[in-house]
Structure 1
Amino acid sequence: MGRNVPAVSRALDILELFLQQPLLSAADVVARLGLPRTTVHELLVTLVDRRYLVQVPGQPLRYRLGVRVFQLGSVFAEQVDLAREAQLVANDVAIACDETVHVAVREGRDVIYIARVDSTHPVRMVSAVGRRLPAHCTGVGKMLLSDLSPDQFDSLYPPSTRLASMTPNSITSAARLKSVLKQVRQEGLAFDDAESSEDVRCVAAGVRDHTGAMVAAMSISVPTTRWSDGSRAKLMDLVRDGAARLSDNVGYRTPAGYGAPPDRHASRP
């Protein structure tokens, strides 16, 4: 194993401060990291020289991130394989709960499953990567639909639209779906209450990429015989954590942690 290089660690500590605040002074860095002023000055000069930081015009003692950080981030974004990352995280979540875990993306009114890990229980949900289902009948689908703007929603589901049902519990009207999506946004979770299969319930959370867009959703599916208030609470926590970890792996960040991201639409459906 190699040795941790203190100077490199300190330089990275400085860069990571900008994840919480876009502009910082040398004094801010000294106060937050507890480093000597001389050390901070030398590190800042080096980071500016290498274009990882730039001095703010008209405010020479304040700094912001430089173009080199953007260039590295762009290379990272190009290399991210959502399906591969989804499979890795889904596997960990499935080990934690021993239930079936899915990750899906939306295409129009449907969702397509891009990752799946099965439960080891004899009774489990039968599914497949590549399977397509109506978004309004699934937890992952409702989660993804909740990120639409009002105009996008109305274009996809005009007010008079009658939605196909998969079970007696399926949502069949655009108005009802719109109401459910409002609750999904408030809770940050979506549920499938035996709406795609009468024998299965699930809970889902959204996955966001480096742009803040919801690009996928993760769900945990459970036979109704194993669904209870206790298991529901545990699965809610696990799917939140799993979706947050996958979001992190594909570049999403928020200064306040994995809470709700800023609302990108003035109003919602």
Structure 2
Amino acid sequence: MGRLVPAVTRALDILELFLEGDGTLSAPEVTRRLQLPRTTVHELLTTLAARSYLVPVREQPGRYRLGVRTYQLGSRYAEHLDLAAEGQRVAREVAQTCDETVHVAILEDLDVIYIAKVDSTHAVRMVSAAGRRLPAHCTSVGKMLLASLSQDELDSRIEGRELIAMTPNSVTGHEELRAALDVVRERGVAVEHQESNPDVSCVAAPVRDSTGQVVAALSISVPMIRWSEEREAELADLAAKGAADLSASLGHRGAR
């Protein structure tokens, strides 16, 4: 790896400060937060403004905000963004950490569709495939995605619909599902205990895009022979971190 260029690093540090707060900063604030010399900060702000990475705030003299150039770069990045490809990359990283099966799924009506999957290397593991479709109410990713819907949207999807059982543990009642989704919203993660497969439990966390909308969920699936309360807590944290990493790659500012 080559040597980092200090001036470029400082310029990027300045730009990243604008991701926080109200999105405006003054030179003294940058100086204080980065502990840089005032002359250095002035020169860097002047250079970034000259290249349209920053612009002065007209109604607040002495303050800057992000300029159009940063939007252009972000838009070009978004043009080439592929949720499935990014999901596969992050799923691989999570699977390498826990050596369990990791999925990324999206919601379609009342089903989930797996768009990315990385297998565990254990002989005993969950068997599935990218592209597989399952009832959302029977899976941790599905419950996570259903919990992200507004109450009206959820009601419109489940009204008059039968919730089929995949195992004896599957949720089949509408009120039972609503109660389960309340727990998901409260916890911020979803857990499924042998509801889609009698030999597997899963935990899932939400993936958000640049607008903050939940667009997918990332789950970790574990055979019951390796499942415990301690393992559940550990994997819930790992799933949340993986989902946050994927969200960050989609442009979600609060992901990390």
Task: Give the shorter-chain TM-score range.
Answer: over 0.9
Answer whether contact 1:161 1:173 (CA < 8 A) is retained. Answer: no
Match of 2:248 in 1: 248
**How far apart are the structure 1 equivalents of 2:112 and 2:208?**
16
* Alpha-carbon distance, 1:144 to partner: 0.9
**How far apart are the structure 1 equivalents of 2:96 and 2:244?**
17
**How far apart are the structure 2 equivalents of 1:50 and 1:122?**
56
Runs of 4+ in 1 over 4 A off after TM superposition: none
Post-superposition CA distance 1:4-44 (Å, at most 9, x none)? 22222111111111111211111101111112222211211
**How far apart are the structure 2 equivalents of 1:3 and 1:125?**
44
**How far apart are the structure 1 equivalents of 2:249 and 2:25?**
26
Post-superposition CA distance 1:82-123 (Å, at most 9, x none)? 111111221121122221111111111110001111122222
Match of 2:179 in 1: 179
Match of 1:167 in 2: 167
Match of 1:155 in 2: 156
* Alpha-carbon distance, 1:167 to partner: 1.1
Match of 1:231 in 2: 231
Post-superposition CA distance 1:207-256 (Å, at most 9, x none)? 112221111111111112221122212211221111111112222121xx
**How far apart are the structure 2 equivalents of 1:39 and 1:98?**
47
> Counterpart amino acid of 1:167?
T
Match of 2:37 in 1: 36
Matches within 5 A, 1:68-87: 68-87=69-88
More displaced stretch, 137-146 vs 175-184? 175-184
Secondary structure of the corresponding residue to residue 60 of structure 1: coil
**How far apart are the structure 1 equivalents of 2:26 and 2:214?**
34
Answer whether contact 1:190 1:203 (CA < 8 A) is retained. Answer: yes
Classify 1:60/1:232 alpha carbon distance in 2 versus 1 (closer, same or farther; 3 Å): same
Answer whether contact 1:207 1:217 (CA < 8 A) is retained. Answer: yes
Structure 2: 5+ residue runs without aligned partners?
none
> Counterpart amino acid of 1:189?
V
**How far apart are the structure 2 equivalents of 1:222 and 1:201?**
6
Answer whether contact 1:161 1:174 (CA < 8 A) is retained. Answer: no
**How far apart are the structure 2 equivalents of 1:32 and 1:113?**
43
Structure 1: 5+ residue runs without aligned partners?
259-269
RMSD: 1.4
Matches within 5 A, 1:1-269: 1-21=1-21, 22-158=23-159, 161-254=161-254, 258=256
Count of aligned pairs between the two proteins: 255
TM-score (norm 1): 0.90
* Alpha-carbon distance, 1:146 to partner: 1.2
**How far apart are the structure 2 equivalents of 1:183 and 1:78?**
36
Secondary structure of the corresponding residue to residue 89 of structure 1: helix
**How far apart are the structure 2 equivalents of 1:125 and 1:3?**
44
* Alpha-carbon distance, 1:124 to partner: 1.4
TM-score (norm 2): 0.95
> Counterpart amino acid of 2:166?
M
Secondary structure of the corresponding residue to residue 69 of structure 2: helix
Post-superposition CA distance 1:185-221 (Å, at most 9, x none)? 1111101111111111111111112221111111111
